[in-house]
């Protein structure tokens, strides 16, 4: 049979255990108010929660750190950086799948440039032929005008067509020459990146 003294001891132990359990679950919040002063309280006002805070035990041990909320600009920047990383990873994988070595990249670059340069040569040849035809038709028209004869609509239309073709051919040549620079730069960048991502393999 338990004596009153024993019952009292058991009750005291039970109370102490309850107290310890409560203390273990109770937390404090450490944050900064609008004046920049660090505050510790058993709750945190909603207006300060977005600035970040720490959750501590009653003994002062930090059990959780909540960072401040990002501004719209910071969130957008973080999103853009994540997308850029994902795109870089995707591009690196594609680069590894496309080429087995640096020599493959050099060969692909040469093939692409040769094709463009051949196209430029054809365009330049066409431009030279067009210039000669235009010069011939222009001289013919001038001769007719000197003799007092009227130029026909057909002749004027032909000269106009040759002039427009010359402009078009020159634009195409400039475009292809620009493509040569762009493609050359792209393959050089691919080569550099390929070396970077495979040097540690």
Question: Looking up tokens 């937390």, which residue turns up?
Answer: 27
Q: How is 44-86 classified by DSSP, letter by letter?
A: --HHHHTT-EEEEETTS-EEEEEPPPPPHHHHHHHHHHHHHHH
The 10s digit of each residue's pLDDT in 161-179 is: 999 999 999 999 999 999 9
Average pLDDT over residues 22-41: 82
Query: Which among 50, 22, 15, 17 has a CA at the least distance from the CA of 34?
Result: 50
pLDDT at residue 93, as a whole number: 95
The 10s digit of each residue's pLDDT in 136-166 is: 999 999 998 888 888 889 999 999 999 999 9
Strand order in the sheet with 27-32: 38-41, 27-32, 53-57, 62-66
- Could you state, in order of their start, the residue ranges of all structural domains in the chain? 4-66, 100-198
With a CB cutoff of 8 Å and minimum separation 6, the contacts of 184 are: 109, 113
What percentage of the chain carries pLDDT values higher than 90? 69
pLDDT at residue 24, as a whole number: 47
């Amino acid at each position: 049979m338990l004596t009153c003294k024993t019952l009292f001891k058991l009750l005291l132990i039970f109370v102490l255990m309850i107290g310890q359990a409560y203390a273990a679950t109770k937390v404090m919040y450490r944050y900064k108010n609008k004046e920049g002063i660090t505050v510790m309280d058993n709750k945190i006002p909603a207006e300060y929660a977005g600035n970040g805070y720490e959750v501590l035990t009653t003994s002062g041990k930090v059990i959780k750190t909540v960072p401040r909320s990002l501004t719209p600009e910071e969130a957008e920047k973080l999103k853009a950086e994540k997308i850029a990383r994902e795109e870089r990873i995707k591009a690196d994988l594609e680069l590894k799948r496309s080429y087995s070595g640096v020599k493959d990249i050099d060969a692909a670059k040469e093939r692409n440039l040769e094709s463009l340069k051949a196209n430029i040569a054809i365009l330049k040849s066409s431009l030279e032929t067009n210039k000669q035809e235009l010069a011939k038709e222009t001289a013919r028209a001038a001769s007719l005008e000197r003799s007092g004869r009227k130029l026909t609509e057909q002749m004027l239309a032909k000269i106009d067509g040759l002039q427009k073709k010359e402009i078009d051919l020159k634009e195409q040549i400039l475009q292809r020459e620009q493509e040569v620079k762009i493609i050359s730069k792209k393959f050089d960048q691919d080569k550099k990146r390929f070396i970077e991502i495979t040097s540690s393999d």
